Every structure is written in C-alpha cells, then in structure tokens.
C-alpha cells in the first residue's frame, strides 16, 4: 500500500485509461482521470495536494500532453510527470524532456515497467506490496 497520494492518469483512449486505472488501483494507489490536456490541468489544480504522480498521454484532444505538462509545471515544478506515447524517436524524447516531463514510457506499456516506474516515484510502505502478481 502506498502511504498517501494519488496518480493522475491523463489518457483520451477509454481502453488505455481503464487499463491504467485498474493497474494503478491494484497497486493500492488512488487515481484521478482526465481525457484531455485541459482536463488534466483542471484535475491537477483541484487536487494538487493529493496528486503525487501524473501519467500523461501525449496525443489528446483540446490540448496535447506537452502543452498540459508545461502548464502544470508553471503551477508545480516538482510533481513527477511520465509521458505515455507510441512515438519513440529521440526527438520525441527530447520534446518530452523540454516540456518538463521526467521520463517517457513507450506504448504498449509493459506491466513490470509501469509498476517499476510508479514505485520509483511513489514507493510502497512495505516490501510485501512489491508483489510481482501484476
């Protein structure tokens, strides 16, 4: 179980968002969901004291993940933001880092990699949570 905090999952594709929510919640972490970059900024602003990690899709309607990240960085330069994208070029990675993201996961995201990334930013309270059942 994670001591406190939540993950904001910003993903416009319903199936991808449901998958991420299910995995994060199975790790014992509460979630907030956003379908657009604009919604991600709103959810983060409303829950800034609770959200301790953001999983941010790059391609979303209204505002993409890069723009949303830049807006969130203006409010909070410390919250970890992890890009979720199917684009894996060096230029894509550089764009993510320039926007203020901490790292990038390539879709389809592998469960062990997702779990490891989440635990890097939100360490579990005890080692029994590090189960590899996912």
Give the domain CATH number at 77: 3.40.50.2300
In the predicted model, what is the mean pLDDT of residues 24-47?
Answer: 96
In the predicted model, what is the mean pLDDT of residues 85-94?
Answer: 92
Assess if residue 1 is contained within a domain.
no
What's the domain count of the chain? 1
Assess if residue 27 is contained within a domain.
yes
Assess if residue 130 is contained within a domain.
no
Assess if residue 111 is contained within a domain.
yes
Res 1 pLDDT > 50: no
User: What is the b/e burial string over 25-36, where b = at least 16 CB atoms within 10 angstroms of the residue's CB?
Assistant: eebebebbbbbb
Assess if residue 50 is contained within a domain.
yes
Per-chain mean pLDDT for the chain: 91
Q: Which structural domain, as residue segments, surrounds residue 90? A: 6-121
Contact between residue 57 and residue 10 where contact means Cβ atoms under 8 Å apart: yes
Assess if residue 95 is contained within a domain.
yes
Res 32 pLDDT > 50: yes
> Model-level pTM?
0.91
């Amino acid at each position: 179980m994670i001591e406190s905090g939540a993950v904001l999952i910003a993903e416009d594709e319903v199936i991808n968002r449901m998958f991420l929510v299910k995995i994060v919640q199975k790790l014992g972490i509460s979630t907030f969901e956003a379908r657009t970059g604009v919604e991600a900024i709103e959810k983060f602003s409303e829950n800034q004291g609770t959200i301790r990690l953001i999983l941010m899709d790059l391609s979303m309607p209204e505002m993409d993940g890069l723009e949303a990240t830049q807006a969130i960085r203006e409010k909070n330069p410390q919250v970890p933001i992890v890009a979720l994208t199917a684009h894996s070029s060096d230029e894509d990675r550089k764009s993510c880092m320039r926007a203020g993201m901490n790292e990038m996961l390539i879709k389809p995201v592998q469960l062990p990699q997702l779990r490891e990334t989440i635990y890097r930013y939100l360490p579990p309270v005890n080692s029994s949570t590090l189960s590899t059942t996912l």
